[in-house]
A and B are shown apart, each in its own frame.
Chain A
Amino acid sequence: QKEVEQNSGPLSVPEGAIASLNCTYSDRGSQSFFWYRQYSGKSPELIMFIYSNGDKEDGRFTAQLNKASQYVSLLIRDSQPSDSATYLCAVNAGYSTLTFGKGTMLLVSP
């Protein structure tokens, strides 16, 4: 059973702070890792993906992957109220389907 675990939150951070979102996965064969942002009532939107150990930066977002620890994280720098959403971690064990976590709700207060 492939599992992806996330803290459901909410994670509350003040505007301008760094938000750190974490995800663990059970399948050691997992090859690629995705972060989706989902605003309330909307569809998931892909914001980052990572496939090798280390960090990957894209603007205010940094994805971090540690395959030995089976751990993926997403850092959001200079958090804005518009970043308030649910962040879904998804894992792909091959060129096929994604297994999603339940998501972490992020609340950024002005």
Chain B
Amino acid sequence: GAGVSQSPRYKVTKRGQDVALRCDPISGHVSLYWYRQALGQGPEFLTYFNYEAQQDKSGLPNDRFSAERPEGSISTLTIQRTEQRDSAMYRCASSHPDLSYNEQFFGPGTRLTVL
């Protein structure tokens, strides 16, 4: 596609429910990143993939958070047993190996609200 797409754009869930957030990167971009952005803050790194391999998951807050990218394209970020503190904007970005300095392009984000 022309840009990074994310779905759903908005998600409201009740505490304790599981949610799955989807990211479809720019066509041909092999690196995919997940960030979380709180209001008034910059994006905070969660995890990233090169192709289907998860290269770094050091930013995932705890073991309720997981991510996968099984075919090296679309990625899913899953949050189990959601808590109110998980409410935030979840952003996905992608980059291409031909971009020498790892320029990352962001999708529109998914606004998660946990009630």
- Bound-state Cα–Cα, A92 to B42, Å: 14
Scoring B residues 31 to 75 as 1 if CB is less than 8 Å from chain A, else 0, what string do you get? 001000000111111001000000110010000000000000000
Partner of B42, one of A42, A43, A103: A103
Residue contact A97 to B45, C-beta cutoff 8 Å: yes
Partner of B48, one of A34, A36, A97, A99: A97
A108 interfacial contact with B, CB 8 Å: no
What is the interface size of chain B, counting residues whose CB is below 8 A from a CB of the partner? 21
A71 interfacial contact with B, CB 8 Å: no
What is the interface size of chain A, counting residues whose CB is below 8 A from a CB of the partner? 25
CB distance from B3 to the nearest CB of A (A): 9
CB distance from B17 to the nearest CB of A (A): 25
Instruction: List 7 additional A-B contacts (Cβ < 8 Å) besides A43-B107, A100-B43.
Output: A49-B101, A97-B45, A97-B56, A97-B59, A98-B102, A101-B42, A102-B41
